[in-house]
Chains A and B, each alone.
Chain A
Amino acid sequence: MANKIRVATTSLAGCFGCHMSFLDIDERMLQLAEVVEFDRSPITDIEHCTNCDIGLIEGGVCNSENVHVLREFRNNCKILVAVGACAINGGLPAMRNHIPLEECLNEAYLDGIGVENPKIPSDIELPLLLDQVHPIHEIVKIDYYLPGCPPSADVFWKFLTDLIEGREPSLPYELVHYD
């Protein structure tokens, strides 16, 4: 089918829990696949976004690569969606915002219990960490937000079917949870 709605997804500083929850739409995925085609996403392994209708972003921004990916999505997606607590407020990774980055690295790679060959990774291929984790609306314009940790499968379904069927997306009380 031509003119399928193109959807891209990614997880930045997230745990892929939102993606797992999205997959919980179960057999409804088949219905979705009739009208939707996935672009860049862990589901397809496509490495870079092309022009898309909808971009779903899980996770906040914790390193330079996250910033690049987020901007690539913004440049290529007509509608960009913050999915889940971490994309919306930084979530669990943002708990490091109260600890200096050096202390975090020391604890993880030098002084932590059970660390072998203590050395802070410095390979040039590794993206540099930001001093703080940020929600994605601080970096690019976000069009819609799906709260939850993770948002339930029904949240994804309600949101996507609203958009696909040409309605302004809305979440009723039962579907709005921050936990």
Chain B
Amino acid sequence: MSKTITIDGKTIPFEDGQTIMDAAMAAGVYIPHLCHQPEFTPHGSCKLCTVKVNGRNCSACTYPAMDGQDVLNETEELIEDRKRITQMLFVEGNHFCPSCEKTGNCQLQAVAYHLNMLDNHFPLFYPDREVDASHPEVMIDHNRCIFCTLCVRASHEKDGKDVFAISGRGIHKHLIVNAESGLLKDTDVAATDHAAHICPTGAILIKRTGYQVPIGQRIYDHQQIDQVSLATEHPKHGE
């Protein structure tokens, strides 16, 4: 007999080695997430996928599924928690959607839309952060980095390059690149790298492509991230 967990009362099968996120996605159940992509080692840092497992909060992307787990996902309390987490991500950086070319295609924005986040709740930090436009094809706008490490993992695991890393702790945490100058132009990053396309926000962008699709016709302008996520990150549900 196959092993199962329940998510919001729905029975979900899983195989040994799968996380709660893996099992949920395979069953077509969306759990909000930003730092997780099924093709990379889970990181568990954004905390958006917080679910209640047998009464305790856990990150669904890192927590192993175990037979008989009672998982709560879409509860009012967890949705409110996720909204607060998303608001913290917004106020900690400089996320000005009207002036960002990623708007409409941005997963941070899309999660916020999905959670019906209408305000920031917290005072804004307005941190001083740099833009690295030194590379001819790829740019980093540190104002929008949420330290999800997807670029770090993509560069290491997929591109085999280790272009990106996170340095510093707490409020001083920041994205760095693998060059003595600290500039992207002196790394071996290429516009074709997986890492250059994985950013869930507008922090890493390919130059001269930002407005090929007009605002209003972009991914999340008409589709919610739960549908997009299940269709693209776990294609069998999008067919």
Contact = CB atoms under 8 A, between A and B. Distances in A.
Question: Do A and B truly interact?
Answer: yes
A89 B109 CA distance: 14
Given A145-B119, A173-B113, A89 B98 contact: no
Contact of B124 (A90, A144, A173): A90
B97 interface: yes
A85 B98 contact: yes
B96 A92 contact: yes
A73 B39 CA distance: 52
B118 A176 contact: yes
B31 to A, nearest CB: 18
B118 A146 contact: yes
Q: How large is the interface on A (under 10, 10 to 19, 20 to 34, 35 or more residues)?
A: 20 to 34
A44 B224 CA distance: 40
Contacts of B114: 173
Majority secondary structure of chain B interface residues (helix, strand, loop or mixed): loop
A94 interface: yes
Interface in B73-102: 90, 95-100
B168 interface: no
A147 B103 CA distance: 14
Given A98-B128, A176-B113, A85 B118 contact: no
Nearest to A137: B119
B120 interface: yes
Contact of A178 (B112, B116, B123, B128): B112
B215 interface: yes
Contacts of A171: 116, 118
B97 A178 contact: yes
A178 B98 contact: yes
Contact of A89 (B96, B100, B104): B96
Interface in A85-106: 85, 88-92, 94-95, 97-98
Given A132-B126, A173-B224, A179-B103, A149 B118 contact: no
A91 B222 CA distance: 24
B96 A91 contact: yes
Majority secondary structure of chain A interface residues (helix, strand, loop or mixed): mixed
A129 B209 CA distance: 38
A142 B112 contact: no
Nearest to B125: A97
Contact of A91 (B90, B98, B116, B215): B98
A135 interface: yes
Given A89-B90, A92-B96, A94-B126, A179 B104 contact: yes
Contacts of A173: 113-114, 116, 224
B115 to A, nearest CB: 10
A56 interface: no
A82 interface: yes
A107 interface: no
B126 A97 contact: yes
Given A92-B98, A179-B98, A179-B104, A98 B126 contact: yes
Interface in B21-57: none
B228 to A, nearest CB: 13
Contacts of B99: 92, 95
A85 B128 contact: no
Contacts of A144: 118
A178 B224 CA distance: 15
A154 interface: no
Given A138-B123, A176-B118, A179-B215, 5 more contacts: A89-B96, A94-B126, A95-B96, A137-B119, A176-B113
8 contacts: A85-B98, A89-B124, A90-B126, A134-B124, A171-B118, A173-B114, A179-B98, A179-B103
Interface of A: 82, 85, 88-92, 94-95, 97-98, 132, 134-135, 137-138, 142, 144-147, 149, 170-171, 173-174, 176-179
4 closest A-B pairs by CB: A178-B97, A149-B98, A145-B119, A145-B118
